[in-house]
Amino acid sequence: MRTREDCLQADLHDPLAPLKQQFELPAGLIYMDGNSLGVLPRAAAARSAAVIGQEWGAGLIRSWNTAGWFELPARLGDKLARLIGAGPGEVVVTDTTSLNLFKALAAALRIQQHAAPQRRVIVSERDNFPTDLYMIQGMIDLLQQGYEMRLVDETLPLEQALDDSVAVLLLSHVNYRTGHMHDMAAVTARAHARGALAIWDLAHAAGAVPVDVTGADADFAVGCTYKYLNGGPGSPAYIWVAPRHSQDFWQPLSGWWGHQRPFDMAVAYEPAGGIRRYLCGTQPIVSLALVECGLDISLAADMAEVRKKSLALGDLFIRLVEERCAGHPLTLVTPREHALRGSHVSIRHPQGYAVMQALIARGVIGDYREPEVLRFGLTPLYLGYADVWDAVEVLKDVLDSGAWQQPEYSRRTAVT
């Protein structure tokens, strides 16, 4: 693709193009932040009106039965399972990614406590999404049992970090900042070979890259539904537990919805069989129900086509930025190699924050992450090749003109 016309031709022949019609996309925007918040499915307006007007308003308390609210976390979990290589009855959509990590971590540590009680190290990456690290720290501080967090970074490679003191390895499949993707099967095998359990955070992966938790022999996985899965702002997250572990223990956030017979109102907690024990309290039904609108679009897509287009969009973006913006102090952060790349591309610029604000002001919406990183999400379900072409032209203009130097673009907002 050497010209904009080439890009338009590629869009015309894109097998995923019909799915774009299932989203409401604001006119005049090039939205490259679907890795942070996905776009609005057209079906969501009617679905929310039905949940609010009919299910809540008219059905009221009866809707727990008649509208299937009680089954919703498991029913949506079964749909989500198909996007991550899990089976039915292995996933629930519930709570937040952070909380589901806490559940998975508690469970993994308990399993290890029985199997290998001397293992007291939790390994992650210094560059992992901070909330993952914060949840580890919260758990360690709570337990006061001598656990410690060990972080892989340029001074400590993963191979070296995984010694026989490690209980759990907790990684993101695709890094939130760099877009680097791990080989889940290979890394899990390495962890298992060293006696550690593997927990995967799929927040930046599910719906964007092929994920196969079963094939990778992972132990636990969690993720969110509001990025590539277009579930809506802050829509509930999900948790998968390998069937070999799901009956092993309680998870400690043991609320009524995880009880074997919640309506017996028994005093003693008794966990439900399988994945339902990972439910805790009452879920936000309106936000939860909307998850299905986005899931259904992802399930209608051929994931191999999604991956193929994601990489093609990434290759095009990287090449165009390097050609068109040559001479500006840009550094590619994301790996070029396909096997190492997720579905967003990150580029460093010394004044990254201001550059991104100038882009947003011109209708190209990506986001900024410390330090100096411009992130561009490549979402094959609704982003086209010509969009990528146009975005790079706007970036070139912002850089060539020095427009990003306007003082207003350096002013920080609450959420960056």
CB 59 within 8 A of CB 66: yes
- Catalytic residue chosen out of the listed positions 375, 376, 382, 387: 375
Which one of 32-40, 155-163, 238-246, 320-328 is the stretch in contact with its own copies (CB under 8 A)?
32-40
By C-alpha distance, which of 60, 51, 89, 102 is closest to 291? Answer: 51
Among 9, 137, 165, 214, binds its own copies (CB under 8 A): 137
- Catalytic residue chosen out of the listed positions 102, 129, 278, 409: 129
Among 90, 95, 201, 219, binds its own copies (CB under 8 A): 95
Question: Residue 205, Cα to own-chain centre: how many angstroms?
Answer: 5
Q: Terminal CA-to-CA distance of the chain, rounded, Å?
A: 33
Residues 289-328 that bind its own copies (CB under 8 A): 290
Among 56, 190, 192, 299, binds its own copies (CB under 8 A): 56
User: In the bound complex, what is the minimum distance in angstroms from residue 176's beta carbon to its own copies?
Assistant: 9
Cα(228)–Cα(239) distance, integer angstroms: 16
Nearer to its own copies, 250 or 319 (CB): 250
Q: Per residue in 178-198, is it b (16+ CB within 10 Å) or e — as a string? A: bbbbbebeebbebbeebbbbb
Residue 414 within binding range of its own copies, rule CB under 8 A? yes
Binding-site positions for pyridoxal 5'-phosphate read 97-98, 129-132, 201, 204, 226, 256, 282
Catalytic site residue 201? yes
Residue 49 CB neighbours (<10 A): 11
Catalytic site residue 264? no
- Catalytic residue chosen out of the listed positions 102, 226, 238, 317: 226
User: In the bound complex, what is the minimum distance in angstroms from residue 205's beta carbon to its own copies?
Assistant: 17
Residue 114 within binding range of its own copies, rule CB under 8 A? no
Residue 102 within binding range of its own copies, rule CB under 8 A? yes
CB 207 within 8 A of CB 178: no
Residue 148 within binding range of its own copies, rule CB under 8 A? no
**How buried is 205 (Cβ within 10 angstroms: 0-12 exposed, 13-18 middle, 19+ buried)?**
buried
- Catalytic residue chosen out of the listed positions 201, 219, 367, 387: 201
Show contacts of 326-334: CB within 8 Å, 24+ apart: 328/399, 333/177, 333/178, 333/179, 333/373, 334/178, 334/179, 334/180
User: In the bound complex, what is the minimum distance in angstroms from residue 328's beta carbon to its own copies?
Assistant: 24
> How far, CA to CA in Å, does 133 sit from each of 101, 123, 137, 369?
10, 10, 6, 17
Residues 241-280 that bind its own copies (CB under 8 A): 250-256, 258-259, 262-269, 280
Catalytic site residue 376? no
By C-alpha distance, which of 340, 313, 376, 338 is closest to 16? Answer: 313
Residues 75-94 that bind its own copies (CB under 8 A): none
Number of chain residues interacting with its own copies (CB under 8 A): 97
Among 7, 121, 135, 216, binds its own copies (CB under 8 A): 135
